[in-house]
Amino acid sequence: MARYHFDFRDEKGLTRDEIGAELPNLGAARKLALTTLGEIARDITVSGVEGQVAIEVRDADGLVLVASASLTCVFRGSAARESD
């Protein structure tokens, strides 16, 4: 088992995970990063905020993967004129 840390990055900067989680392998860390990213994206969209967010996963040797999402809303056609 290895300890993985899941740091959160958004437009405000990086929030480091100082505790981490013991997981069996990098595949399990990937799954947890994507699940966590989905939960964060859901919370952000409920608040109506747009932007980019990422989970940066590191182990004892450093950064091992990054899961990211871009949350944007673009109006098209007549809806673009009505959104102003």
Q: Tens digits of per-residue pLDDT, 16-63? A: 999 999 999 999 999 999 999 999 988 888 888 888 999 999 999 999
What total number of domains does the chain contain? Answer: 1
Backbone angles phi, psi at 42, to 5 degrees: -60, -45
- Among residues 63, 48, 42, 50, the alpha carbon closest in space to that of 10 is found at 50
- Tokens, residue 64: 């091992």
pTM of the model: 0.83
Q: What does the pLDDT average to over 64-83?
A: 81
Residue that is written with structure tokens 């994206």 in the block: 41
- Whole domain around residue 41: which residue ranges? 2-82
Asked if the model's pLDDT at residue 79 lies above 80, the reply is no
How much is the average pLDDT of 57-73? 94
Which pLDDT does position 20 carry in this prediction? 97
Residue 15 CB burial class (10 angstroms; 0-12, 13-18, ≥19): exposed
